[in-house]
A and B are shown apart, each in its own frame.
Chain A
Amino acid sequence: GAGVSQSPSNKVTEKGKDVELRCDPISGHTALYWYRQSLGQGLEFLIYFQGNSAPDKSGLPSDRFSAERTGGSVSTLTIQRTQQEDSAVYLCASSIQNTGELFFGEGSRLTVL
């Protein structure tokens, strides 16, 4: 399809393991965002990529979280040494620069046991 694609849709892992979550943005969208949605909470901004500029990492909650965007397209969010409080839905979104509208994927649900 032509929408934002995320994988895996569900991931169950053990505390202390590393996980990688993938996002394929809409073709031609220069901006890519990661958000975290915890139960009963809003959308927590994590990181923002715009073209070739340095990413805005101001929302990353700890140094266990990192993200890359290769070739201006696909992005991977990595969580090292996962903790139970990392359990959440991780949403990726893309947009055309400065248009305002975010196009979200369906999210990756992470459960840390």
Chain B
Amino acid sequence: GENVEQHPSTLSVQEGDSAVIKCTYSDSASNYFPWYKQELGKGPQLIIDIRSNVGEKKDQRIAVTLNKTAKHFSLHITETQPEDSAVYFCAASIRGGGADGLTFGKGTHLIIQP
């Protein structure tokens, strides 16, 4: 089955700086890659996703890049703000965009230092 590795497990950055979280996946058939943000005491929430037919997607301060050859994808957050502090999960699926079949990474705890 699919295996998703996520790094780093903890990331501390100064407010205003950029943050990058990286994930690798094992199944070359994977074609859907979402990112979820989990704030303390809340359930995870989808913040951005990318499908295998594109290499990059941006939404304001957030961007995701995908390298299918190397089987890795990354989340980039620019101009970080205190409200970006949370746990971020990457995931991969072979089910073409359906939420079933998602395999999640173990998460990255992002800390924004004031």
Contact = CB atoms under 8 A, between A and B. Distances in A.
Given A91-B43, A93-B43, A100 B97 contact: yes
Contact of B98 (A45, A93, A97): A97
B44 A100 contact: no
A48 B44 contact: no
A89 to B, nearest CB: 9
Nearest to B107: A42
A40 B64 CA distance: 24
Contacts of B9: 40
Contact of B99 (A41, A42, A101, A107): A101
Contact of A4 (B32, B43, B46, B99): B43
B59 interface: no
B97 A99 contact: yes
B100 interface: yes
Interface in A33-70: 33, 40-45, 48, 50, 56
Query: What 10 pairs between A and B have smallest CB-CB spacing?
Result: A104-B43, A42-B106, A43-B104, A95-B99, A42-B104, A100-B97, A98-B98, A102-B99, A101-B46, A104-B44
